[in-house]
């Protein structure tokens, strides 16, 4: 993968610009800086390796050289509406590209893509504010493509896998995978406000109908049955006492509940 091969693969898309790095700290940091300098809508920062890749709450996201996809899209939304659906838009785009490969992805709400119950991709959405308005959004996506991209188990709290391991054969070139994700993204973006997006997102929610545990901040975890999504993309749970509760985005981690 290099700048030429990427430009060639993405030549038919109407992207705003492309910055390619052999190695970078974090593509989201570069994209946030570029957005602040006025990057055009649908500009892309992509790197072969990230040395300081971030998940939420500054948790580390591993992107070893030559084996993964790590890129950040800059969006210039016209309004603040449907901002909370953006992570779903990104997750569905990655999920669609997995389905094209014959895989069966699930979305671990809000921001991870699972294959066979193992994490294959993660999303980090960050906002550039201009006073009360959203100036731009940066959507970071990290996808484990080749088996070498899967971090060792002792570094993880949740099992991980790669497209190569799940396919059981060599995955397509990373240029092809990013093209497939971006095509899906462009498709879903035009439907950001539509019921169809929530329905498609809900259909592939991991642990749907199962007991899950949600950890928000440092408070006590909430356990309940995962019922589905609200129209803004929030999660709806049914607590053991029958009370229905809505979990909004933010610092929230979801796990299957350990049934004792």
CB of 49: closest distance to ligand ADP in angstroms?
12
Tell me: does residue 91 bind ligand ADP (CB under 6 A): no
Q: Which is nearer to ligand ADP, 11 or 218 (CB)?
A: 218
Which of 185, 186, 177 minimizes the C-alpha distance to 1?
177
Residue 205 gets which letter from DSSP? B
Nearer to ligand ADP, 45 or 163 (CB): 163
Stretch touching ligand ADP by CB under 6 A, among 6-14, 97-105, 128-136, 143-151 = 143-151
Nearer residue to ligand ADP within complex by CB, 120 or 180: 120
Which residue in the set 20, 34, 61, 201 belongs to the binding site for ligand ADP (CB under 6 A)? 61
163-202: which residues touch ligand ADP (CB under 6 A)?
Answer: none
| Burial 40-55, CB ≥16 within 10 A → b, else e | ebbbbbbbbbbeebbb
Rounded to a whole number of angstroms, the minimum distance from the CB of residue 64 to ligand ADP is 8
# residues near ligand ADP by CB under 6 A: 19
Minimum distance from residue 241 beta carbon to ligand ADP (Å): 26
Per-residue tokens: 257: 């509940």
Both structure tokens of 163: 């497209």
86 binds ligand ADP (CB under 6 A): no
CB 124 within 8 A of CB 57: no
- Neighbour count for residue 73 (Cβ, 10 Å): 26
Task: Answer yes or no whether residue 119 interacts with ligand ADP by CB under 6 A.
Answer: yes
Nearer to ligand ADP, 84 or 183 (CB): 84
- Token pair, residue 129, equals 């504010």
As a dihedral over the C-alpha atoms of residue 150, residue 154, residue 155, residue 156, rounded to 10 degrees, the angle is 80
- Tokens 């809000």 correspond to 110
Q: Which of 115, 87, 79, 77 is nearest to 229 (CA)?
A: 87
Nearer to ligand ADP, 10 or 140 (CB): 140
The whole-angstrom separation of Cα 44 and Cα 148 is 24
Q: Report the b/e string of 98-115 with b at 16+ CB within 10 A.
A: beebebebbbbbbbbbbb
When binding is defined by CB under 6 A, the residue of 7, 8, 158, 196 that contacts ligand ADP is 158
109 forms part of the interface with ligand ADP (CB under 6 A) = no
| Binding range to ligand ADP, per CB under 6 A, among 28-36, 55-63, 187-195, 235-243 | 55-63
**Where does this chain bind ligand ADP (CB under 6 A)?**
55-56, 59-62, 111-112, 119, 122, 142, 144, 149, 151, 156-158, 160, 253
């Amino acid at each position: 993968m290099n700048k030429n091969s990427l430009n060639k693969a993405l030549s038919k898309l109407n992207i705003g610009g492309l910055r390619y790095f052999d190695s970078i700290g974090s593509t989201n940091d570069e994209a946030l800086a570029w957005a602040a300098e006025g990057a055009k809508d649908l500009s892309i920062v992509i790197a072969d390796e990230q040395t300081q890749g971030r998940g939420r709450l500054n948790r580390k996201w591993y992107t070893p050289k030559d084996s993964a996809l790590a890129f950040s899209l800059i969006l210039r939304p016209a309004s603040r509406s449907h901002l909370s659906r953006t992570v779903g838009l990104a997750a569905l785009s990655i999920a669609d590209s997995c389905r094209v490969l014959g895989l069966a992805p699930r979305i671990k709400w809000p921001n991870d893509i699972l294959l066979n119950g193992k994490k294959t991709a993660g999303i980090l959405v960050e906002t550039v504010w201009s006073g009360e308005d959203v100036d731009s959004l940066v959507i970071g996506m990290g996808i484990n493509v080749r088996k070498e991209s899967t971090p060792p188990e002792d570094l993880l709290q949740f099992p991980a896998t790669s497209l190569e391991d799940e396919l059981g054969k060599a995955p397509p070139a990373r240029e092809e995978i990013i093209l497939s994700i971006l095509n899906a993204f462009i498709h879903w973006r035009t439907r950001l406000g539509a019921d169809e997006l929530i329905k498609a997102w809900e259909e592939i929610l991991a642990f749907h109908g199962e007991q899950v545990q949600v950890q928000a901040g440092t408070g006590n975890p909430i356990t309940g049955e995962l019922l589905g999504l609200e129209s803004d993309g929030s999660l709806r749970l049914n607590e053991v006492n029958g009370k229905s509760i809505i979990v909004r985005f933010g610092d929230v981690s979801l796990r299957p509940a350990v049934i004792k």
